[in-house]
Amino acid sequence: MTPSRPSPRAALLGLAALCLATLPAVAGSLRLMDYNLLNFPGSTGASRAPYFRTVLAEAAPDLIVAEEVLGTAGRDQFLSLVLDVAEPGLWEAAFFHDGTDTDRALFIRDSCAAVIDAGWLDTDLRDIDWWDLRLTESGDTLRVYGLHLKASQGSTEEQRRYAECLVLRADLDALPPQRAALVCGDYNIYTYTEPAWQLLRSEGPGQLLDPLDQEGPWHNNLAYAPVHTQSTRTASFGGGATGGLDDRFDFILPRPVLMDGIGLELDPLSYLVLGNDGNHFNQAIIDGVNGVVSAEVANALHESSDHLPLLVNLTWQPVTAVATAPAPTRLDAWPNPFNPATRLAFGLPTAGHARLAVYDALGRQVALLVNEALPAGPLQVDWHPTGLPAGLYLAELRLDGAPAARTKLVLLK
């Protein structure tokens, strides 16, 4: 398919929305998991432990931020029943604050990070925990927050979430501008118009970003099915929520410094809702066939918690990394999510052989949109997928030997 050149006005708009950026060679990475453990251990901790171990074997995290941990006993039992059985001697629990409600915990694998400071922010509900980490391999310092905001719908609950986030935002605003930090947890936010979300996303020193760039009215909305995190279940058991996957409650939100292309970075393309194939809207994760995990893993996700875990990679580059060739402009897709078609806009800094392909969640190529010599400048190509299921896809653009530009695509039913 030969790309077309956009109109001058479209080209200007497209170039304003895009930024020229290379993807440097990665020197190392860590995988961060956020997981609401559903009141662990409760009365079912021992019976759920094997399911958690199956999930962790699939996820392979290095750092775990957990919510709904029931005191020090919950922390210790998750370590002894789950982590130490799965990988004996490799995991440790970080500083733990036993608050007045369910708690948050941080677990570290194989001494990949050291806690250099820790504490919590007092709120009227569940406190917000924080840990300052020094990453062993890279030497970078990272602040990790763990939170669990007020649950339920209604204006009163929204205002209580907002009050909690006022405390968080004040702490974020006080950090040095280049301090790497991210906030993990169960936000219990139903839509992007909520005051708490607007506060966290507003400009300023403590602004947080959505790595998936999928802000919207998430609750019970098919358009956001691929990013929903609760509930894994439609049947009631173990105290968890029901209703199937229809809410995006869980987030890992970084400060902009973690997405500026320099030093320690959060890789948005690695951000994953484990087990969500985009085809289980208002369904249990075990209904039918799961397109991204095995039946065993889907069942483990169903039995262990009513939330799906989040995964994202933290990466860092070599100090002397040098790009071998100018990289293509970052891909932009509109509309996205989409059905039946989306337009991919990009720019080439130099003339060269361009290859634009689309891959499914399993890494299989499903479309080759461009594979030819192209001139420098802004270009666009339309993709009309046929015979493909709804879900997450990855578009990848390569120009000669330069680092690739990539973007996630969400195909709706």
The amino acid occupying position 139 is G
Backbone angles phi, psi at 50, to 5 degrees: -60, -35
How many CB atoms within 10 Å of residue 288?
11
Per-residue pLDDT reduced to its tens digit, 232-248: 999 999 999 999 999 99
**What was the pLDDT predicted at 116?**
95
> Predicted confidence band at 329 (pLDDT cuts at 50, 70, 90)?
low
Q: What angle do CA 73, 78, 80 make, to 5 degrees?
A: 90
What are the domain boundaries of the chain? 8-22+323-411, 28-316
Pick from 2-11, 236-245, 273-282: least confident: 2-11
pLDDT at residue 25 above 50?
A: no
How many CB atoms within 10 Å of residue 354?
22
Look at residues 234, 228, 229, 225 and name the one whose alpha carbon lies nearest to residue 278: 225
The amino acid occupying position 85 is V
The answer to whether domain 8-22+323-411 and domain 28-316 are alike in fold is no
pLDDT at residue 271 above 90?
A: yes
- Please give the structure tokens belonging to residue 22: 């290379």
Q: Edge-to-edge, what's the strand order for the sheet holding 332-334?
A: 332-334, 342-348, 377-383
The amino acid occupying position 28 is G
Per-residue pLDDT reduced to its tens digit, 165-195: 999 999 999 999 899 999 999 999 999 999 9
Look at residues 143, 3, 121 and name the one whose alpha carbon lies nearest to residue 65: 143
**What was the pLDDT predicted at 332?**
84
pLDDT at residue 278 above 70?
A: yes
How many CB atoms within 10 Å of residue 198?
12
Per DSSP, the three-state class of 313 is strand
pLDDT at residue 358 above 50?
A: yes
Per DSSP, the three-state class of 248 is coil
- Whether domain 8-22+323-411 has CATH 3.40.50.2300: the reply is no
Q: What is the mean pLDDT of residues 202-226?
A: 96
**Residues pairing with 94 in the sheet:** none
**H runs (alpha helix) in 123-194:** 155-174
pLDDT at residue 273 above 60?
A: yes
CA dist 82 and 9 (Å) reads 57
> Predicted confidence band at 326 (pLDDT cuts at 50, 70, 90)?
low
> Predicted confidence band at 337 (pLDDT cuts at 50, 70, 90)?
confident
**What was the pLDDT predicted at 110?**
94
Strands 141-148, 181-186: pairing is parallel
- Please give the structure tokens belonging to residue 354: 């361009």
CB 382 within 8 A of CB 343: yes
Task: Report percent pLDDT > 70 for the chain.
Answer: 90
**What was the pLDDT predicted at 363?**
79
CA dist 332 and 347 (Å) reads 10
Say which residue, 332 or 277, is predicted with more confidence: 277
CA dist 382 and 370 (Å) reads 11
**What was the pLDDT predicted at 327?**
66
**What is the chain's mean pLDDT, rounded?**
90
CATH of span 28-316: 3.60.10.10
CB 248 within 8 A of CB 190: no
Strands 391-399, 352-359: pairing is antiparallel
Q: What is the mean pLDDT of residues 301-308?
A: 98
**What was the pLDDT predicted at 413?**
76
Per-residue pLDDT reduced to its tens digit, 45-98: 999 999 999 999 999 999 999 999 999 999 999 999 999 999 999 999 999 999
